[in-house]
Amino acid sequence: MDPKDLQTLVPSDQFPEENRLQREREFHNLQAQGRLCTLKNPSDYLQEDSRFFNHAPWIPLGFHLLGDLAGLKILDLGSGNGMASVALARKGAQVVSFDISTGYLEETRTRCLANGVKGNWVSGCGEKLPFASETFDRVWGNAILHHLELNPALSEIKRVLKKAGKAVFCEPAALSKPIYLVRRCLGKSGKHTPDEAPLTWDDLRRIKQAFPISQWRGVQVLGALPGVSRWGWSKKVADWLDRQGVRWLPFYQYLCRYVIVSLEN
């Protein structure tokens, strides 16, 4: 697909809250443009999946919940830089990369071609997906739901999923007052869009209403502390302690930085 084909497939006047969507689009297009300084050569797009899986503890856990992907059609919702799309394709999935940012989709296209995997690249709105009902066996998303209007987005995800299909999302969360306050401070850093917000208890309840067969688990408390990732051994220790905390201490999940949400249609 040529860059000129990376276009919005639904007229902009059909999107909900176009001003908000325009802010999101511009923010992520600027992010994608800023990444070009580190992506000057074709070799810069080559990807080792081990690095992708290890850069955040929720990624391998979320991928595991997707199950065997060979031959399945999967929507990478909010595909961003395309690393997940490449990893999904390497597991045998037929991947459709979907993002509001045409800049990020161009990076995804280039990354897929550089790594020798097939893909499809579609730009549009997560609250109004331009796909037929029951198109996908799986939906994957990393840090996307908290950018969307949750109710219409959940309705669209449910619509495009096949019967017995599954969706897995890894999302920033604020399930306790301390984490909420920390995220409020971080939200002023300029690294976040003005309209995004971490998932709350109310959001998890709305997800449960839309997908009665659903579950969630918290990920990362100690691993999110400043300086932990500076040394490999300390990150491994922090991740191990976090896993034990989630396993043995019921309150620990409420302190977690991220949640993994698994939904079944």
Q: Classify 161 as helix, strand or coil.
A: strand
Quote the pLDDT of residue 184: 64
Residue 64 near residue 138 (C-beta atoms within 8 A)? no
The neighbour count for residue 177, using CB atoms within 10 Å, is 9
Confidence band of 228 (pLDDT split at 50, 70, 90):
confident
- Per-residue burial over 225-250, b = 16 or more CB atoms within 10 Å of its CB, e = otherwise: eeebeeeeeebeebbeebbebbeeee
The lowest-confidence range among 61-75, 86-100, 211-225 is 211-225
Taking alpha carbons only, the member of 167, 182, 252 closest to residue 217 is: 252
Q: Classify 254 as helix, strand or coil.
A: helix
Statement: residue 185 has pLDDT above 80: no
For 3-264, which CATH class?
A: alpha beta
Statement: residue 65 has pLDDT above 70: yes
Quote the pLDDT of residue 18: 75
Quote the pLDDT of residue 7: 39
Q: What is the DSSP letter of 51?
A: H
β-sheet bridge partners, residue 170: 142, 260
Strands 73-77 and 94-99: parallel
Quick: pLDDT tens for 188-212.
555 778 888 899 999 999 999 999 9
Percent of the chain with pLDDT over 90: 72
Percent of the chain with pLDDT over 70: 87
Taking alpha carbons only, the member of 134, 141, 162, 252 closest to residue 207 is: 141
How many angstroms separate the first and last alpha carbons of the chain? 31
Average confidence score pLDDT of the chain:
89
Q: What is the DSSP letter of 14?
A: G
Quick: pLDDT tens for 150-170.
999 999 999 999 999 999 999
Domain boundary assignment for the chain: 3-264
Looking at the chain, list the stretches that DSSP marks H as alpha helix, in order from N- to C-terminal side. 18-35, 49-54, 58-66, 83-90, 102-114, 150-160, 177-186, 201-210, 232-248
The lowest-confidence range among 86-100, 134-148, 170-184 is 170-184
Quote the pLDDT of residue 12: 40
Query: How many Å apart are CA 17 and CA 152, to the nearest integer?
Result: 12
The neighbour count for residue 144, using CB atoms within 10 Å, is 23
Distances (CA, A) of 197 to 105, 175, 193, 200: 23, 12, 9, 9
For residue 11 the two structure tokens come to: 């007229």
Statement: residue 80 has pLDDT above 90: yes
Quick: pLDDT tens for 8-58.
444 344 445 778 899 999 999 999 999 999 999 999 999 999 989 988 999
Query: How many Å apart are CA 58 and CA 258, to the nearest integer?
Result: 8
Quick: pLDDT tens for 135-153.
999 999 999 999 999 999 9
Distances (CA, A) of 10 to 2, 16, 71, 119: 19, 12, 28, 20
Statement: residue 83 has pLDDT above 50: yes
For residue 71 the two structure tokens come to: 């031959």
The neighbour count for residue 200, using CB atoms within 10 Å, is 14
